[in-house]
Structure 1
Amino acid sequence: MRKQEFLDELQMKLSGLPRKDIEERIAFYSEILDDRIEEGYAEEDAVREIGSVDEIATQIIADTPFSKIAKERIRPKRRLSVGEIMLLTLGSPIWLSLLIAAFAVMLSLYVALWSVVISLWAVFASLAVCLIGGVSACVVFIVGGNAASGVAMLATGIVCAGLSIFMFYGCKAVTSGILMLTKKMAIWLKNCFIKKEIAK
């Protein structure tokens, strides 16, 4: 792929972003390619070394705030006629309620995902605290002359401490998984706006 083909394809993939952002990104990658070519790389090799257009476009979209993309999509490309304004106003009870419902569903899904993470970390914290409680109860029982119960409480605390170690690694894995999932969901949502723009 040659430099101009690369830049044209990248511009097409980013067509849903604000015009200024697209121009900045195209200028940035054009300058990088020019620098590589000046260093002695063949044009095709310089393009290949930068990476695929899809990967670059996905990264740019991921780094672009959702508000910018939504603002660009919502902004009308031309002045609305009186009839269109009236239709929008009359239809607002329907489309506005659907928009609010969609936002509520997305928000509840996001909250549900993170509530799982919070619950798991709470279980980890309670298991870790059980060690302190077990040792304290052990001391109290032994001082009170009930050594068997003291040993049982100490054993319970040690078991909880062991479980908390496993739980810690599980919580870490789930947290990173949820982070990745929410990031992918955000990218998917941004791509919905971008793809609609490309389709136009």
Structure 2
Amino acid sequence: MNSREYKEQLSALVECLPEAEREEAVGFYLEAIADRMDEGATEEEAVALAPTPAEAAKAILSEKISELKAREGEGGGTSHAFNEVVFEEVAEAYGNLTGEDGAKHNPRGFFGRLKSRRLSPLEWVAVVVSSPLWLSVLVAVAAVALALLIVAFALLLVVWVLVGCVWIVGGAFVLSAPVAIVFAIWGLQIGSGPYSLVNLGYALFLFGGGMWVLRDALALTRALWKWQKENVEVSLHGFGKRRARKKSADCAADGCADEGVPGTFGSASSAGGQPTAAVPDGGVPPVAAAGRSGGSLFFRACLVLLLAGLVCVLAGFISSGFDWRVFLTSVYTEGKMYLGGAQVESPERLLFSPYGLFARYF
């Protein structure tokens, strides 16, 4: 056998390798043959002293398998990622040379080879024969997964309904405030100061409390929507978390923190590449500080309205001589109207009076 035939046979045995790696590996053995020829051996003698093409191919493929396993164990990388297809081809070629099952060298195992449809004939027969069993298990698992998914969506819907109820309560409080103001005006028209004070307190309390509830409802809605976007939608798109983790790892390896990627520490610029605003000595960004100040002002305003409403109600009750009827309102009782326990003689003259509307249309 001459060096040309040796090269052809060895190249054919390691054909599964990438071209650059194949040429480098074959070139190593050809260089060893050339060195022996330089020492005085004939070409045939130099080839005979070298490992046979099969032995050389075993050594090359074994080294390649070890290299790929090491990459897989390290989680791949941005520049030397684990190539599953190359690994399977190398493992198969090594198994053909050694007479062993090359699949045992595959860290992906049976399911990895099943996914890439590279099973042996015996394994395909086993898959077909056992199909009634694993199909039944697969259907059962799918049914359980679907049931859990339905329960999860039902729970999510319940949470959204509860948030909607908070919105309804806050809206009802705010919308009831003008009605209480109308009753306060009616109290002034009939000359009942305590009744007017009580309803003015109702209006202040309902508006302050309603705005507070609406703000909390907005915060709940934002928090739930953010949680849903980060968890529910990612899960529905399948392996989104794994892709996000891989993207973060690749970003860290490529130095994204130096490019101002949002969410990375040590970034000197914003996502748009523009310098970020300097943080004050107190450690609170200006925007966050403004948000806290606005929230504190809103809280104080609502608290003032609530306290003022309670004071008005208490003042009206005291000024009425602790008459509990000051809290009562009856728009229609046996054809008569009562405000704070006092009968209204001419209800149609009251501002926005329903009696005036009924008399106009009926």
TM-score of the two chains, using structure 1 as the length reference: 0.51
Structure-1 residue corresponding to 2:208 = 162
Choose which of 161, 168, 175 in structure 2 pairs with 1:115: 161
Distance 1:144 1:85 in 2: 87
Where do 1:89-128 residues align within 5 Å?
A: 89-91=135-137, 94-128=140-174
Choose which of 175, 188, 191 in structure 2 pairs with 1:129: 175
Going from structure 1 to structure 2, the CA distance change for 1:97 and 1:190 (only over 3 Å counts) comes to: closer
- 1:82: Cα distance to partner? 4.0
Choose which of 205, 222, 232 in structure 2 pairs with 1:176: 222
Distance 1:113 1:104 in 2: 14
**Higher RCO (C-alpha 8 Å, min separation 6):** 1
Going from structure 1 to structure 2, the CA distance change for 1:89 and 1:127 (only over 3 Å counts) comes to: same
Going from structure 1 to structure 2, the CA distance change for 1:77 and 1:85 (only over 3 Å counts) comes to: farther
Letter aligned with residue 150 of structure 1: S
The percentage of aligned residue pairs carrying the same residue is: 14
Where do 1:1-200 residues align within 5 Å?
A: 6=78, 78=117, 82-83=128-129, 85-87=131-133, 89-91=135-137, 94-186=140-232, 189=235, 193=239, 195=242
Mean Cα displacement is larger for which, 176-185 or 133-142? 133-142
Distance 1:106 1:151 in 2: 50
Count of matched residue pairs: 129
Going from structure 1 to structure 2, the CA distance change for 1:77 and 1:6 (only over 3 Å counts) comes to: closer
Letter aligned with residue 143 of structure 1: Q
Structure 2, gaps ≥5 residues long: 1-76, 84-114, 119-123, 246-362
TM-score of the two chains, using structure 2 as the length reference: 0.30
Going from structure 1 to structure 2, the CA distance change for 1:176 and 1:91 (only over 3 Å counts) comes to: same
- 1:193: Cα distance to partner? 3.0
Mean Cα displacement is larger for which, 143-152 or 90-99? 90-99
- 1:158: Cα distance to partner? 1.3
Q: Which has the larger radius of gyration?
A: 2
Going from structure 1 to structure 2, the CA distance change for 1:91 and 1:172 (only over 3 Å counts) comes to: same
Say which SS state the counterpart of residue 161 (structure 2) adopts.
helix
Going from structure 1 to structure 2, the CA distance change for 1:151 and 1:77 (only over 3 Å counts) comes to: farther
Letter aligned with residue 200 of structure 2: L
- 1:142: Cα distance to partner? 3.1
Structure 1, gaps ≥5 residues long: 13-75
Distance 1:116 1:7 in 2: 50
- 1:122: Cα distance to partner? 1.0
Distance 1:149 1:119 in 2: 31
